[in-house]
Amino acid sequence: MPSKRNETADKIRVAARAIVKAEGPDHLTFDAVAAQVGVSKQAVLYWFPNKARLIEALVRPTLEAESNAGKVAIASQTTAGDAIRAYISALAVFHSSDLERFRLMYVTPQIGQRSGRNGTMLTTLGRIHPSTTEMYDSLAEKMVEHGRYDRMIDARRAATAIHTALLGLILRMAMSDTLNSPLRSRDDALVDALVNVMAPKAA
């Protein structure tokens, strides 16, 4: 049986996600969450003492799910090219199937940024980074194992660049979806084009 703590925290997370989905990340405030859950603002702050912690609670499971989707797609591939193609295709399906989740993962965390003591940016994604790191390392290991790169550091940079390029395409999809743009029909073609650029098949 769930504890009182878990029940309360879950209700707060559900309310926060509903607010982001319905009104956008700018409307995610402790007052709004408290009103939706039916508790005081202080009660929300008790479980999530700042906005970065709340956003982390929303985003962490989705980043872990993305990482798992990427790693599963890579695992059974026997060439570097196949691994790259499977990786891009799997993550394209993962994100395009739920653009609200994508916005939650890669748009909402930006409102949790604040300056660190040394001037660096402390972000929700910074604390969640290990799950994404594991995904990058899985692809990098395949690329080194099958001779695409000699060094892990170079392969990992490539894995990061591939993921970043894909996220750019998904962001375009999310924008087109929001605007109900007719360009949405070309999304599959753009993903195929990215696959062909990153891992062209031998003639």
Fold of 50-198: Tetracycline Repressor; domain 2 (1.10.357)
How far apart are alpha carbons 9 and 33 in whole angstroms?
A: 11
pLDDT at 4: 56
How much is the pTM? 0.80
How far apart are alpha carbons 131 and 124 in whole angstroms?
A: 13
pLDDT band at 7 (very low <50, low <70, confident <90, very high): confident
Provide CATH code, domain 1-49: 1.10.10.60
pLDDT at 53: 85
Using one digit for the tens of pLDDT, what is the confidence trace for 24-45?
777 889 999 999 999 999 999 9
Domain ranges of the chain: 1-49, 50-198
Can you list the alpha helix ranges (DSSP code H) found in 76-151? 80-96, 99-106, 124-145
- For residues 131-158, average pLDDT: 96
Does 50-198 match 1-49 at the fold level?
no
pLDDT band at 123 (very low <50, low <70, confident <90, very high): very low
How far apart are alpha carbons 5 and 10 in whole angstroms?
A: 8
- Residue 113 pLDDT more than 60? no
